[in-house]
């Protein structure tokens, strides 16, 4: 199996109302740059073109992710995984530091 991947990023805000006391600052709305990497299964060279897939991903995010209330990295992975049945893996991180990976 061959996989290709595309990456993108978007600015978003979120908060975690139930954050543990040790990190209670997360209960307040705060900003992140969310970095996204999505892998697609392909059968042959150039079956999917990188620039076209990236554009589709960007448009999907704009339509399906509320950037004023992004939620968790895990939740964003799940939403993005529904974009295309050829997706095999989605990675989402906050500021390229911490994040989640969903193997579809």
CATH number for the domain that contains residue 51: 3.30.479.10
In the chain, how long is the greatest CA-to-CA distance? 51
Percent of the chain exceeding pLDDT 70 equals 100
6 CB neighbour count, 10 Å cutoff:
20
pLDDT confidence tier of residue 1, bands split at 50, 70 and 90: confident
Could you tell me if 58 and 77 are in contact, meaning their C-beta atoms sit under 8 angstroms apart?
no
State the burial class of residue 65 (Cβ atoms within 10 Å of its Cβ: 0-12, 13-18, 19+). Answer: buried
Domain span including residue 55:
2-103
Handedness of CA 89, 90, 95, 99 (dihedral sign): negative
How many independent structural domains does the chain possess?
Answer: 1
């Amino acid at each position: 199996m061959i996989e290709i991947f595309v990456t993108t990023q978007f600015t978003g805000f979120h908060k975690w109302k139930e954050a543990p006391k040790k990190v209670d600052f997360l209960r307040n709305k705060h900003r992140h740059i969310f970095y996204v990497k999505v892998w697609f299964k392909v059968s042959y060279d150039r079956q999917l073109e990188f620039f076209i897939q990236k554009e589709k991903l960007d448009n999907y995010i704009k339509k399906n992710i509320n950037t004023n209330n992004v939620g968790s990295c895990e939740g964003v992975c799940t939403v993005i995984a529904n974009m295309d049945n050829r997706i095999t893996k989605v990675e989402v991180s906050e500021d390229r530091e911490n994040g989640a990976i969903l193997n579809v």
